């Protein structure tokens, strides 16, 4: 399936994993390696950006759209779309929930990845609550939107920038370079420039910082590079002999 950036899809796509984030480039930073790994395993992935980046310090909404398309091609996602929620004003309203419901009912993911529910940027933690409540709403049979109800089976939270112990990590060692390429596709954001120079990490430091964070989470599980996730529910294990991380 060809990567597309478009409005909410007009026909069912049947995606396995949908990553929802506030801004274009958030997914690349927090779970891009995981999407790459899932794609390599034949799992269909997609991205929904809630805003278009019009309020960003650097670049324009048009810049971010073109960059998001390039990044999506690197990540190999089956579909990428963006809603029209105002950048800097991601709010958990009924109207915004319905916008996400329309995508959920068309894309029909089994797994949804959301931002972690606490953080510095209000758009990020508001997206966590907004996304969760949209997933619930999407499963209500009596909510008529012209599409069949669908509720994701699993909701995960990408916790890379949260100071919390992850529930688990995903080994992205084989995909770390492509993850970096997907992030650097956002030239309006990460190429050195005077605008926002006091807020953004210098380009020469981005690779070192992002690889170091991934290395930290990899060390927790005995692999080279990893991305962390949190789940709210208890995990279920069938066979204790197949638990993958060595204790000592």
pLDDT value of position 8: 62
Query: What are the domain boundaries of the chain?
Result: 5-231
- Proportion of the chain above pLDDT 90, given as a percent: 78
CA distances from 137 to 110, 145, 151, 152, 230 (A): 15, 11, 8, 11, 22
Decide if pLDDT at 93 tops 70.
Answer: yes
Pick the CATH number of 5-231 from 3.40.640.10, 3.40.50.10320, 3.30.450.40, 3.40.1180.10: 3.40.50.10320
Whole-angstrom Cα distance, residue 183 to residue 125?
21
Poorest-pLDDT segment among 56-65, 107-116, 144-153, 154-163:
56-65
Mean pLDDT, rounded, for 1-6 = 53
Q: How confident is the model at residue 7 (pLDDT cuts 50, 70, 90)?
A: low
CA distances from 218 to 102, 107, 166, 215, 222 (A): 36, 31, 12, 5, 6
* Residues 14-49 pLDDT 10s: 899 999 999 999 999 999 999 999 999 999 999 999
pLDDT value of position 53: 78
Tokens of 62: 């048009």
Decide if pLDDT at 1 tops 50.
Answer: no
Round the average pLDDT of the chain to a whole number and report it: 91
Whole-angstrom Cα distance, residue 135 to residue 118?
19
Q: Nearest-5° angle of CA 59, CA 64, CA 70?
A: 130
pLDDT value of position 211: 97
Quick one: which of 199, 198, 200, 182 has its CA closest to 190? 200
* Residues 165-194 pLDDT 10s: 999 999 999 999 999 999 999 988 777 556
Decide if pLDDT at 2 tops 50.
Answer: no
Reduce the secondary structure of the chain to three states and give it as a string.
CCCCEECCCCCCCCCCEEEEECCCCHHHHHCHHHHHHHHHCCCCEEEEECCCCCCCCCCCHHHHHHHHHHHHHHHCCCEEEECCCCCCCCCCCHHHHHHHHHHHHHHCCCEEEEECCCCCCHHHHHHHHHHHHHHHHHCCCCCCCCCCCCCCCEEEEECCCCCCCCCEEEECHHHHHHHHHHHHCCHHHHCCCCCCCCCCCCHHHHHHHHHHHHHHHHHHHCCCCEEEEECCCCCCCCCHHHCCCCCC
Mean pLDDT, rounded, for 101-125 = 95
């Amino acid at each position: 399936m060809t990567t597309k950036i478009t409005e909410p899809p007009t026909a069912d796509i049947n995606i396995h994993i949908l990553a929802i984030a506030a801004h274009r480039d958030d997914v690349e930073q927090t779970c891009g390696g995981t999407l790459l790994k899932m794609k390599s395993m034949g799992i269909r992935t997609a991205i929904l950006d809630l805003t278009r980046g019009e309020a960003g310090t650097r670049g324009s909404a048009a810049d971010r759209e073109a960059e998001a398309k390039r990044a999506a091609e690197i990540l190999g996602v089956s579909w990428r779309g963006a809603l029209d929620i105002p950048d800097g004003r991601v709010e958990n309203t009924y109207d915004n929930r319905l916008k996400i419901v329309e995508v959920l009912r068309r894309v029909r993911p089994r797994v949804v990845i959301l931002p972690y529910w606490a953080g510095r940027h209000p758009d990020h933690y508001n997206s966590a609550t907004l996304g969760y409540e949209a997933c619930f709403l999407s499963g209500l049979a009596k909510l008529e939107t012209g599409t069949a109800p669908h509720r994701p089976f699993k909701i995960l939270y990408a916790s890379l920038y949260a100071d919390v112990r992850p529930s688990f990590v995903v080994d992205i060692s084989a995909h770390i370079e492509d993850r970096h390429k997907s992030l650097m596709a956002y030239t309006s954001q990460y190429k050195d420039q005077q605008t926002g120079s006091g807020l953004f990490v210098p380009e020469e430091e981005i690779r070192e910082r992002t690889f170091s964070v991934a290395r930290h989470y990899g060390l927790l599980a005995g692999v080279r590079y990893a991305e962390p996730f949190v789940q709210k529910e208890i995990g279920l294990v069938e066979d204790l002999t197949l638990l993958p991380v060595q204790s000592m």
